[in-house]
């Protein structure tokens, strides 16, 4: 089965030609998993990146008291991986897990290297993707250190418009680094401002 979203993504956004994609396609593997499937455990060395065709993944850590902290959500057309583990070949610092029944493309670490050798357009695109990822992380660090809860929430719904409908509130609070109570307060304040009966 050819993962259609991933194919469109590589061709329309990544600039691969159809024949370049066909050349690479044989090394791709797509996998249907149930909610709760773990793709990566903390401490393992991450061998693959994951592209979400359908469904929803998350990466998270568990602290010493057993509390989960969500680092990233990956809905349809998002990549998720443990980049430092893949690139530096070191133990992963977090888990990657499906939180909905999902179809996921497993991308070997060589895939991107070969694709970049094959296509200069893709190489440029992939570099841009990496910078985009760094930009996202920078913003996230800055926000976690300095932004009030409401601003964090507003940025969240801008980045992930439909996740409020798909994941429990505690996961969103965990991602935002606030308590479920303060997420509830933020949403209540917004509703007070915006709800007209």
Give contact residues for other proteins (rule: CB under 8 A).
Answer: 157, 161-162, 164-166, 169, 184, 187-197
Q: Which residue lies nearer to other proteins by CB, 87 or 170?
A: 170
| Spatial distance between the Cα atoms of 82 and 12, rounded to a whole number of angstroms | 25
State in angstroms the smallest separation of the CB of 52 from other proteins: 17
Q: Which residue lies nearer to other proteins by CB, 56 or 105?
A: 56
State in angstroms the smallest separation of the CB of 138 from other proteins: 24
- 92's CB contacts (< 8 A; 6+ apart) are 40, 41, 42, 43, 44, 45, 46, 82, 85
Q: Which residue lies nearer to other proteins by CB, 145 or 191?
A: 191
- 21's CB contacts (< 8 A; 6+ apart) are 7, 10, 11
| Spatial distance between the Cα atoms of 20 and 140, rounded to a whole number of angstroms | 35
Q: Give the neighbor-by-neighbor strand order of the sheet with 29-33.
A: 29-33, 102-108, 48-54, 79-80
State in angstroms the smallest separation of the CB of 50 from other proteins: 24
| Spatial distance between the Cα atoms of 148 and 135, rounded to a whole number of angstroms | 20
Q: Which residue lies nearer to other proteins by CB, 117 or 162?
A: 162
Q: Which residue lies nearer to other proteins by CB, 89 or 184?
A: 184
Cβ neighbours, 10 Å, residue 73: 23
State in angstroms the smallest separation of the CB of 90 from other proteins: 38
State in angstroms the smallest separation of the CB of 24 from other proteins: 31
């Amino acid at each position: 089965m050819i993962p259609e979203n991933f194919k469109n993504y590589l061709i329309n956004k990544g600039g691969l030609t159809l024949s370049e994609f066909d050349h690479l396609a044989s090394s791709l593997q797509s996998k249907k998993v149930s909610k709760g499937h773990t793709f990566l455990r903390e401490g393992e060395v991450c061998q693959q990146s994951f592209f979400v065709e359908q469904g929803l993944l998350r990466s998270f850590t568990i602290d010493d008291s057993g509390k989960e902290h969500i680092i990233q959500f990956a809905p349809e057309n998002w990549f998720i991986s443990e980049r430092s583990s893949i690139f530096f070949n070191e133990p992963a610092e977090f888990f990657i897990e499906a939180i909905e029944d999902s179809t996921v493309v497993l991308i070997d670490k060589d895939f991107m290297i070969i694709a970049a050798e094959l296509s200069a357009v893709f190489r440029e695109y992939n570099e841009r993707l990496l910078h985009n990822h760094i930009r996202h992380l920078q913003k996230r660090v800055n926000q976690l250190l300095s932004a009030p809860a409401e601003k964090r929430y507003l940025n969240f719904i801008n980045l992930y418009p439909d996740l409020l409908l798909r994941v429990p509130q505690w996961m969103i609070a965990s991602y935002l680094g606030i308590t479920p109570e303060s997420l509830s307060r933020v949403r209540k304040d917004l509703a007070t401002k915006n709800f007209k009966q």
